[in-house]
Amino acid sequence: MNKIGLGYDIHPVDSSKGNLYLGGILISEKISSIGHSDGDVLIHALIDSILGAVNEGNIGIWFPENFYNRNRDSKEMLHEIFAKIGKCVKIINIDSVIILENIRLNPYIKNIKENISEILNLEVTKISCKPKSGNGFYKGYIMAQVITLLEEEG
Ligand SMILES: [Zn+2]
């Protein structure tokens, strides 16, 4: 049976320091996404979209803001979710939007898609990622929306 899930995430941006990660790829060493983990909004929204499709709660239930998850690499969280859920599902496709002011993300999209493709063992052609500038509306924030269509087996 086919199921669809939606994920959304937004974090404030520290424009003075840190490392910014999107889809597990280092985008900038000058700014960062402020969050309990590494603040990777794309992976967080992707996790929520997968969890939503299989009706298994949300990222906060699976990865609470505790000591263990502090500054955690979001790629690990995606690996963990996929290890638990991946056996019962076949992802059909993923579509996503990232909004970030000031940094043009187009040069990074190929690497982001390849990284997600590797983690989820999914053909890169089934992963879409569309960066947008936000036209000033999201100044000081980074936002991602992800929608995942999958087939639940059994
Ligand atoms: Zn987040």
Q: Is 100 helix (H, G, I), strand (E, B) or coil?
A: strand
Q: How far is the CA of 151 from the centre of ligand 1 (A)?
A: 25
Give distance in angstroms: CA of 2 to centre of ligand 1. 26
145 alpha carbon – ligand 1 mean position (Å): 11
Residue 19's SS3 state is: coil
Q: Two tokens at 71?
A: 């500054």
Residue 25 · residue 111 · CB < 8 Å: yes
pLDDT tens track for 28-70: 999 999 998 899 999 999 999 999 999 999 999 999 888 888 8
> With 0-12 CB in 10 A as exposed, 13-18 as middle and 19+ as buried, what is 37?
buried
CA 31 / ligand 1 centre spacing (Å): 16
> Percent of the chain having pLDDT more than 90?
88
Q: How many CB atoms lie within 10 A of CB 128?
A: 14
Question: What's the confidence (pLDDT) of residue 153?
Answer: 84
| CA 42 to ligand 1 centroid distance, Å | 8
Show the domains of the chain with their CATH numbers. 2-152 (3.30.1330.50)
Instruction: Say what the pLDDT of residue 83 is.
Output: 93
Task: Give 120 Cα–ligand 1 centroid separation in angstroms.
Answer: 19
Q: What local confidence, expressed as pLDDT, does residue 5 receive?
A: 98
CA of 87 to the centre of ligand 1 (A): 25
Alpha helices, DSSP H only, in 13-144?
A: 41-53, 59-62, 74-85, 109-120
Distance (angstroms) between ligand 1 centre and the Cα of 154 equals 31
CA of 53 to the centre of ligand 1 (A): 18
Q: How confident is the model at residue 66, as a pLDDT?
A: 87
Contact at 8 Å (CB) between 94 and 43? no
- What is the pTM (predicted TM-score) of this model? 0.96
Pairwise CA distance, residues 147 & 154, whole Å: 22
pLDDT at 41: 98
Nearby residues of 133 by Cβ (< 8 Å), 6 or more positions away: 99, 100, 101, 104
Tell me what the mean pLDDT of segment 63-83 comes to.
Answer: 91
Lowest mean pLDDT among 12-16, 20-24, 70-74, 94-98: 70-74
Q: What is the pLDDT of residues 111-144, one digit of tens each?
A: 999 999 999 999 999 999 999 999 999 999 999 9
